[in-house]
Copies of this chain bind each other. A is one copy, B any other.
């Protein structure tokens, strides 16, 4: 199992030891929670959902509580999940009152004939499933609000166009897992980009772009400049390279993230796992919060390039 908590300009010089420890601790808890499910014979879907829920609930990441604010000063959340065995998939975009968007995405997959639901319609569906909606201020954190106010001030002063996608830090979270039955799953959850406007939807809820899983190839979750991930169909393209070109997972992931995205100046990274348990975690940014566990149960957490 592999998880990520976003890629971006994460420099040792900027992250205080306290913050660094908080990230490492949360990544460890999220990974261990998912891994224990796998150890008990649980499904990769359950492991992916459980690990992402922990990161959604943690204010450190740009997903669920702690999400960044849109230009209108609200939090709009996106998430998606995919089952590599059945190709079942679920996604929600632009929801504002759902504590754990990854779990709603799973309900879309399992309790509806659909794959994707957006906005208030998705929340109407949530209510039919007994999901208790939360008030918008549940997602509020001082850190993100300060970021929003600073960004808004820069926009008002005309010093920046404050267009989304310009941020150099991403906090999208994601997970990929392989269970004892040999089934792959992938999931991704995000608050999108700070100051985003116009109902912008990034790659996280787009099956094929931010998330893809197929037992015939691999499972992938991405984080970065969403527009580049959509145009390059990043998650599914890595799977397609493994399936059709016969290259290794590492090669496929590196070719997409370190060559194609870099050539287009698209920043970001992915976590990927193939059906034999090989993993790859390439990123072309300064850092990516990431953690994985090997078959002997050893957990590794990394933030920077080393």
Q: Is A165 at the interface (CB under 8 A from chain B)? A: yes
Answer whether A88 and B118 are a contact pair too, CB < 8 Å, given A124-B198, A165-B113, A237-B236: no
- B197-A121 in contact (CB<8A): yes
Contact with A208, one of B119, B163, B226, B230 (Cβ below 8 angstroms): B230
> A280 interface residue, CB < 8 Å from B?
no
- Inter-chain contacts of A245 with B (CB < 8 A): 244-245
> How does the 8 Å CB contact mask read for A224-240 relative to B, with 1 for contact and 0 for none?
00110011110011001
Q: Once the chains are docked, how many angstroms separate the CA of A14 from the CA of B241?
A: 44
Q: Is the interface of A mostly helix, strand, loop or mixed?
A: mixed
Q: Kindly report how many copies of this chain are found in the complex they form together.
A: 2
When C-beta atoms are compared, the residue in chain B nearest to A229 turns out to be: B115
Q: Does A125 touch B at the CB level, under 8 Å?
A: yes
Residues of B near A209 (CB, < 8 A) are 207-208
Q: Which residue of B lies closest to A114 (CB)?
A: B200
Query: How distant is the Cα of A236 from the Cα of B230 in the complex, in angstroms?
Result: 11
Taking the closest CB of chain B, its distance from the CB of A186, in whole angstroms, is 13
What is the distance, in angstroms, from A6's C-beta to the closest C-beta of chain B?
Answer: 19
The 6 closest A-B pairs by CB, nearest first: A121-B199, A240-B240, A244-B244, A208-B208, A125-B198, A121-B198
